[in-house]
Amino acid sequence: MTAHPPHQCTLVPDAPDQLTSNQGWDTIKHHHFLKDVTQQLESQGIRVSIFIDAEERFVEGAKEVGAPRIEFYTGDYANIFKTDPAKAVEPHSRCADIANQIGIGINAGHDLNLDNLQYYKNHVAWLLEVSIGHALIADALYYGLKNTIQMYLNKLS
């Protein structure tokens, strides 16, 4: 155990040579692996979040492996949002309801930005955290880091 362990660890199914995430875990297919890693991390006091696509079976699978949180992959949401926001967010809203019913916390991340974040937050109940990296840093180049952080916080308030 390290002197300063992380508070949370998000398990993302990226290959070592993969530039960025493009999908979440299949929590059914990788059940044993995810359960083992989740137990190891939780035994060290580290909360686990499993990165998944917004599909009911993967939410239920995350519960089965013992993860207290999920993080929805929002890349597809971001792509569809441009033409049909309601269609884009619907599976996330539905899966958030299921996650809440079975006692799993909800995070989200990937391609969230100043254009689509507020809509997502307003339509996905029980959202606890969002992961925003690329868009935040890109926006900070134009608006400055302090201003950009305030802009994102305003979208979430």
Q: Could you tell me the CATH number of the domain that includes residue 100?
A: 3.20.20.70
Long-range contacts, stretch 21-25, CB < 8 angstroms, 24+ apart: 21/51, 21/73, 21/75, 21/110, 22/75, 23/53, 23/73, 23/75, 24/50, 24/51, 24/52, 24/53, 24/58, 24/71, 24/72, 24/73, 25/50, 25/51, 25/52, 25/58, 25/62
| Residue, of 133 and 58, whose pLDDT is higher | 58
Q: State which residues form the domain around 29.
A: 8-132
pLDDT, tens digit, 9 for 90 and up, residues 15-25: 888 888 889 99
Nearest by Cα to 6 from 46, 42, 36, 44: 46
Predicted local confidence at residue 31, as pLDDT: 98
Provide mean pLDDT across the span 102-130: 97
pLDDT, tens digit, 9 for 90 and up, residues 38-67: 999 999 999 999 999 999 999 999 999 999
Nearest by Cα to 53 from 83, 85, 76: 76
Angle at 154 between CA 51 and CA 111, to 5 degrees: 30
- Token pair, residue 97, equals 């309801």
Q: Is residue 77 scored above 70 in pLDDT?
A: yes
* Number of domains the chain is built from: 1
The answer to whether residue 94 is domain-embedded is yes
The answer to whether residue 154 is domain-embedded is no
The answer to whether residue 28 is domain-embedded is yes
The answer to whether residue 147 is domain-embedded is no
Predicted local confidence at residue 119, as pLDDT: 98
* Least confident piece of the model among 15-24, 73-82, 117-126: 15-24
pLDDT, tens digit, 9 for 90 and up, residues 83-95: 999 999 999 999 9
pLDDT classification of 1: cutoffs 50, 70, 90: low
The answer to whether residue 91 is domain-embedded is yes
The answer to whether residue 48 is domain-embedded is yes
The answer to whether residue 140 is domain-embedded is no
The answer to whether residue 153 is domain-embedded is no
